[in-house]
Structures are given as C-alpha cells and as structure tokens.
C-alpha cells in the first residue's frame, strides 16, 4: 500500500515535479487560434513555426515554471542572474520548437503509444525507468509494488481530483518519452554502413604511404599580378550564394557614462555598517544575525578555510579571542566587519610553507643524483640570502606553486605526501629543508608557525553602491550629451566636443543577451530591433548596471543572402586564390608535359623534391602543407612510382608520386569497422534528424520583442 499512500499524500508535490520535468514538452495551447497583435500590430505571436503562431502568454507560463524550477535548485540567498534568465528562455523556446516539429513528424510516421502500452510500461515485466522514478514506494530500497499500482490504475474514478491530475500528467510524460524512444530507434535502424564504406575506413586508417612531391605555393604569385573584375566576383557569388546566407543583425556605436561611487557614497556605507556593528557585537546568534547581510563559517574553521574572510584581515582575526569584533574594512568594494564568535584548539595542526621542486629528467639513479645536485646549488644560494620567491619562479618545476613564488598556502599534513609532511612537521618557522620524494627534490621553506587554532567567524557586509544622487548626476550628463544631438552627424561631433570615447557593438542578433563590456544589455538590443528605430537613430540614455549608455544604430543586416558589397573583400580573396591556382596549374602543366621525373620538374620550377613519410588518408596534411585533403585523396588511389598530373591543392599546385605503400592484410570482412561506424552514426543520428526537421520548419523567432 505504500505506493498508493505516497500518491495520496504527495500527489500535489508529485504533480509539481512532473510539471517541471515536462514544461518543455507539453505544447498544447502553445499556438494561437486567432491573430494576436502586439507592438503596434506589427508582429503577431512570439514566434512562427511553419506559419503557426506561438502564443506569447503560453510561452510566458512555461518560462515561469522553468524559472521556478531553477529557483528551487538554488541556495536561498542566491537569485537568478540575467545569464540564467537567458538560458532558461532559450531552453523553453527550443523545447517548444522541438516538440512541435517532432509531434508533426511522429504523426506523419504514425507513431503513437496505446493505453495497453502505457499499462505494460507501468506494470509489465520490465517497468519503464520513468515509472520507477516516480512510482517507487521506497527510494532507499527501490521497492516497486506493481500490484498496488495496478489497483490504483483500475480505480481512477474513485481517487481524488489531484491524484487523477497527477496520473494524467504522468501518462502524458511517459507517452512522450516512449514515442521519442520509438522515433530514435527508427532513425538508428535506418542507418547502415556497407562493406565498401567500412573497407574505405579501414584503408584510410591503416594504409600508410611514403611519397615525394614538388609543391609550388600560391604565394609565389603576388596579389597585384592577379586581375579581378566585378564580373568575376559576381560569377563566383552566383555559384556560391548559400555560403553567404546570414542571420539578421544590427550594429551600433555607443558611448558609456560610468556610475562610479563617490566619496559620499563610501561614507554612507561606512556609517550604515558602523550602525549595525554594535548589533553584531552583542548578538547571541551570529549566524542568524548576518544571514541576509553577510556570511558565517560552517562550524569551526582553520585559517584560509573560510573564503569570505579577506586575506588582509586573516592574521588579525586568527590572533583574536572569542567575542572580538574587527572592522569595518573595505574589501573589493564591500565594507566588512568580522566577529570571532568562538575559539577552540584542535588536535590537528595546519602548516604554511613554500617549496621549489626539481624533478629528475629520467628514472635512473643518475637522474636522481643530478636533480639532487641541482637542488643543492639552489639550496646553498638561498642559505646565503637568495630570494626564495625569485628562485621558485625561475627554477621550480611545479607550475601551480612556481607562479606564486613557491607558496603552498596553509595545509594539513594529510594533504601532502608523507615525506614532505614529515619534513614540514619537524621544521620551525623560517627553516629551510631539503627532502626527496617520488616527485623529485623539494626545497621547503616554512613561512609561518604551525597552528591548531580554529574559529567560528561571522562577517557583516555592506557593499559600497552608488547612491540615487550619484546616479542622477551621471544620468544628467548622459542626457546632456543626448539632448545636444539634433541630427545623426551630431553624435560624432558631441563625442569630440565632450572628449568621450566611442565604442562599437557589431553583428548583434535579435535574441543575443550579451554585449562585451555592458551589463544586462537586453533593453538596448530591443531598441535596436524596435520597428520605429531607423538607421542613424540615436537612443535615449539606457541605464545598464553601473553604466549609462547612449547608442547610435550604424548598420542593419537583414536575414538572407548577403549583398556582394558586404562580403566583397572576402569573396575577392577567394577569387584571387582561384585565379592563382589557374595560373599555376597552367604553368606546372607545361613543365610536367616536358619532364618525366620529379627531379627535373622541380629544377624547371626552381623548387625542390620533398619527402613525406607514413601519410594516411585520414590525415590531410603534407610535411610543408598542413591542409591538403584533395592531394592526399588523389595520392591514396595512385599506383607506386607513377608521377601524378598537377594536383590543384588548397595552398599550392602539387606534382607527386607514391614511393611505397605499406603492405596490410585486408580482412575478408569488416564487421568491427562497420559496427564502430554504425555506433557513431547511431549516437548522432537522432539529434541530426531533429536538426534537419527544424531547418525545414521555417522557424521565426520574435522573442526579442518581449524579453
């Protein structure tokens, strides 16, 4: 009966869990039945999939569920960041799109899950993992009571509405997952690798060739010697349009006015924390006192174990007695007051040391003796007053500590290997010792007395934030700049007049959530894509975190094939390379027609014959040319000692011959290769299928109008 009792007692909680698990998959009522106008009627819906509008209200509800789920997974004191909000927004959108696309595909394939299947998945011989996850009666033992679950299923008309709701959502979720599994199985079963493909893969990985080649790089022809016409560019562009398909984007120039805290702001923060300091001093529950305005150690801690304690205060705090209150001190823009709530002496000690590690070059005794001799030289230099930090950065072979001058910080003995720990335990503060361990020779300097003192610590914090008055003054300055701009050319004029630096944000997409250097710039991005914003427009001041921003829209890029003018330089580079190949192919062909050996061809071309050893079809690199897949493929099918025709390569025109090829035993069958290739295809097949279906669904994303 435990399973049924769980459903009765916790149906509300379980419904919530099911809903959270399925928020991206349940897409009923996602699409609008009518025409939903917003933003002056210029756009309908939050997006379109195959012409059907996604209802923004339903999207908002699903986003709310996802946000609540995320909030429940965070510590109470942590809020959802702007970055998390963006990730959740994308997650909900992608789940809705995928579910719509896949439901349409499932229907076209006739995939469905019957009531009998649901029954088998729940109480059949092998219950589905989802059923076990939600219906197991005892999570500690994994007990799954099929009889009780079947009884519950058979009496749904007699249970509470909440329990029926739970079961309906559970069945929907289970049905969706089972349908997805069927589809994935279909895709995987349709993937097949034949023996010829398997053989090619075997040869590509196992057949090695030694070659000789003559390469004439494209760089031997100067750019100025290649004539390119507008007709050449247009002809190339017409043949390669799809390579230049691009998304919608906007670019802005902008200026920032930083909201820097004033001396008055700092004094106000100091005054406020001073007022709270006495409360911490007299508090009998320090952890509770600082819950919302600071932090407290989780029990007693050694020094350096409590990360919220500023390093500059550590020495003073750990030299204090119980009840001592220290501060306020400014630490990275935050005033902090520290209270030592309690003190105890532990049975264990912590140590602080630095070290220089000299590793042996090999595993022989001679290697170890050489390392010890090198370490001894460093040791003697330090004994004479040498700087330990400098020697560590120069000589130590422990990268982690060498960068910090050899400093290992505070540590307990069990964190170090036994020989090292034993040496530190015996030494006194300031001692210099040498010890050899399995890692090499260590020169150790003890940098503080050992300590067994542990504290409970509470920290009261008050950030130094800009006041409303400070923000108002900065905003007034930004508004003065904006008001002086009467036409689009005034933006540059006012920048120079006020001595301000112009910045740029290029190719910003509608749903981007980040602009380097700006905090939470969604409001600015929405302005860039507002229907009323025209090229050359200058924005009103935006308050973005610690900055006020005024921007000018300088470029708009619509989705589709890029105009030649926008990609002219890129296309010109490619066309120039093609023309160089044409010229070199003609030149090398004339030489190859008159010469039969690589040596004579190289002499005529004022080049040289270059050897290449152990080349394989799976690696498209020649010794002097790192990316030549066509040449490697061409040579893989050539007989030995035959000089090739000129090969039109990526970065050179090449003439080559295969000098030798490895003798490999070609197996009668390629079962292993075929299974390996099919396994890799099966891993990526379902996801690639979803990607193809998405591309075919004409998806329009208008979320930037809302979020």
What is the per-residue pLDDT across 407-417, written as a single tens digit (0 to 9) for each? 998 999 888 89
Give the whole-angstrom CA distance, residue 390 versus residue 408.
15
Tokens representing 196?
A: 């010829």
Span 351-357, average pLDDT: 93
What residues have CB less than 8 Å from 525, skipping those under 6 apart? 250, 508, 510, 512, 513, 515, 704
Average pLDDT over the chain reads: 87
Q: What is the pLDDT of residue 10?
A: 44
Q: Is the pLDDT of residue 380 over 50?
A: yes
Percent of the chain with pLDDT over 70: 93
524 vs 28, higher pLDDT: 524
Please state the separation of Cα 273 from the chain's center in Å. 38
42-56, 91-105, 486-500, 667-681: the lowest-pLDDT one: 42-56
Tokens representing 315?
A: 């020495």
Q: What is the pLDDT of residue 8?
A: 44
Give the whole-angstrom CA distance, residue 143 versus residue 28.
34
36 vs 659, higher pLDDT: 659
- Give the C-alpha distances (Å, rounded to integers) separating 118 from 112, 154, 172, 315, 571: 11, 13, 10, 65, 57
What's the count of helices (H) and strands (E) in the chain, helices before strands? 23, 21
140-154, 230-244, 434-448, 576-590: the lowest-pLDDT one: 140-154
Where residue 493 falls among pLDDT bands split at 50, 70, 90?
very high
Q: What is the pLDDT of residue 135?
A: 83
Nearest to 61 by CA among 13, 22, 15, 35: 22
Q: Is the pLDDT of residue 1 over 50?
A: no
72-81, 315-324, 333-342, 564-573: the lowest-pLDDT one: 72-81
Give the whole-angstrom CA distance, residue 473 versus residue 481.
13
Q: Is the pLDDT of residue 521 over 90?
A: yes
Query: For residue 606, what is the DSSP state?
Result: T
Q: Is the pLDDT of residue 160 over 70?
A: yes
**Would you say the C-alpha torsion 480, 482, 488, 494 has a positive or negative sign?**
positive
Give the whole-angstrom CA distance, residue 347 versus residue 93.
56
Nearest to 26 by CA among 107, 85, 133, 98: 98
**Alpha carbons within 13 A on the beta-carbon side of 111:** 20
Q: Are 482 and 550 spatial neighbours (Cβ–Cβ below 8 Å)?
A: yes
Where residue 30 falls among pLDDT bands split at 50, 70, 90?
low
Q: What is the pLDDT of residues 677-705, one digit of tens each?
A: 988 988 899 999 999 999 899 899 999 88
Where residue 555 falls among pLDDT bands split at 50, 70, 90?
very high
Bridge partners, residue 542, by sequence? 549
315 vs 251, higher pLDDT: 251
Q: Is the pLDDT of residue 38 over 80?
A: no
Q: What is the pLDDT of residue 662?
A: 86
Q: What is the pLDDT of residues 387-400, one digit of tens each?
A: 999 999 998 998 88
294 vs 655, higher pLDDT: 655
Q: What is the pLDDT of residues 218-264, one digit of tens each?
A: 999 999 999 999 999 999 999 999 999 999 999 999 999 999 888 99
Start-to-end Cα distance in the chain: 48
> Rounded to two decimals, what is the model's pTM?
0.66
72 vs 104, higher pLDDT: 104
Q: What is the pLDDT of residue 41?
A: 39
What residues have CB less than 8 Å from 334, skipping those under 6 apart? 461, 462, 463, 464
Q: What is the pLDDT of residues 121-151, one digit of tens each?
A: 998 999 998 888 888 766 666 788 888 888 8
Tokens representing 548?
A: 């006020």
């Amino acid at each position: 009966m435990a399973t049924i009792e769980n459903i009765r007692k916790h149906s509300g909680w379980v419904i919530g869990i099911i809903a959270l698990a399925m928020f991206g998959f349940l897409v009923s009522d996602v699409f609008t039945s009518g025409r939903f106008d917003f933003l002056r009627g210029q756009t309908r819906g939050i997006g379109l999939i195959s012409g059907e509008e996604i209802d923004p209200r339903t999207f908002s509800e699903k986003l709310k569920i996802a946000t609540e789920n995320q909030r429940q997974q965070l510590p109470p004191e942590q809020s959802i960041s702007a970055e998390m909000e963006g990730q959740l927004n994308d997650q909900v959108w992608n789940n809705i799109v995928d579910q719509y696309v896949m439901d349409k595909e499932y229907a076209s394939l006739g995939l469905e899950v019957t009531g009998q299947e649901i029954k088998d998945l729940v109480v059949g011989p092998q219950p589905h993992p989802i059923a076990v996850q939600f219906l197991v009666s005892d999570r500690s033992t994994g007990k799954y009571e099929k009889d009780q679950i079947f009884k519950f299923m058979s009496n749904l008309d007699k249970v509470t509405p909440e329990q029926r709701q739970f079961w309906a959502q559970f069945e929907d979720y289970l049905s969706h997952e089972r349908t997805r599994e069927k589809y994935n199985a279909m895709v995987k079963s349709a993937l097949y690798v034949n023996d010829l493909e398997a053989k090619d893969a075997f040869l590509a990985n196992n057949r090695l060739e030694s070659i000789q080649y003559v390469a004439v790089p494209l760089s031997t022809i100067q750019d100025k010697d290649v004539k390119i016409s507008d007709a050449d560019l247009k002809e190339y562009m017409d043949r390669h349009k799809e390579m230049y398909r691009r998304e919608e984007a906007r670019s802005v120039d902008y200026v920032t006015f930083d909201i820097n805290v004033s001396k008055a702001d700092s004094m106000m923060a100091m005054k406020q924390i001073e007022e709270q300091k006495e409360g911490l001093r007299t508090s009998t529950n320090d952890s509770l006192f600082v819950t919302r305005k600071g932090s407290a150690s989780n029990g007693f801690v050694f020094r350096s174990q409590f990360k919220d304690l500023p390093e500059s205060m550590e020495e003073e705090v750990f030299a204090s007695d119980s009840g001592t209150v220290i501060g306020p001190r400014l630490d990275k823009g935050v005033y902090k007051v520290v209270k030592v709530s309690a003190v105890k002496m532990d049975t264990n000690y912590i140590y602080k040391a630095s070290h220089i590690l000299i590793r042996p070059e090999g595993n022989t005794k001679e290697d170890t003796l050489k390392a010890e001799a090198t370490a001894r030289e460093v040791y003697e230099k330090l004994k004479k007053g040498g700087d330990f930090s400098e020697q560590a950065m120069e000589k130590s072979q422990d990268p982690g500590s060498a960068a910090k001058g050899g400093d290992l910080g505070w540590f307990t003995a069990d964190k170090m290997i036994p020989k090292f720990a034993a040496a530190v335990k015996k030494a006194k503060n300031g001692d210099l010792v040498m010890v050899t361990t399995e890692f090499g020779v260590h020169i150790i300097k003890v940098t503080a007395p050992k300590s067994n003192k542990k504290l409970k610590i509470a920290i009261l914090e008050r950030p130094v934030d800009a006041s409303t008055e400070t923000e108002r003054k900065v905003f007034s300055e930004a508004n003065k700049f904006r008001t002086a701009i009467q036409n689009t050319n005034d933006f540059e004029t006012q920048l120079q007049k006020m001595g301000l630096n112009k910045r740029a944000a290029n190719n910003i997409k509608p749903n981007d959530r980040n602009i380097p250097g700006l905090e939470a710039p969604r409001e600015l991005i929405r302005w860039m894509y507002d229907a009323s914003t025209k090229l050359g427009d200058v924005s009103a001041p935006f308050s973005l975190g610690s900055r006020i921003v005024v921007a000018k829209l300088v470029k708009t890029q619509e989705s589709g094939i890029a105009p030649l003018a926008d990609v002219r330089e890129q296309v010109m580079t490619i066309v120039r390379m093609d023309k160089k190949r044409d010229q070199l192919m003609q030149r090398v062909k004339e030489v190859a027609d008159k010469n039969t050996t690589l040596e004579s061809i190289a002499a005529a071309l004022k080049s040289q014959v270059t050897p290449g050893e152990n080349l394989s079809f799976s690696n498209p690199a020649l010794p002097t040319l790192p990316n030549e897949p066509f040449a490697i493929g061409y040579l893989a099918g050539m007989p030995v000692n035959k000089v090739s025709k000129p090969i039109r390569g990526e970065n050179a025109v090449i003439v080559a011959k295969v000098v030798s090829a490895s003798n490999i035993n070609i197996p009668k069958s390629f079962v292993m290769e075929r299974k390996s290739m099919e396994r890799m295809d099966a891993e990526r097949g379902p996801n690639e299928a979803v990607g193809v279906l998405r591309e075919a669904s004409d998806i329009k994303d208008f979320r930037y109008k809302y979020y």
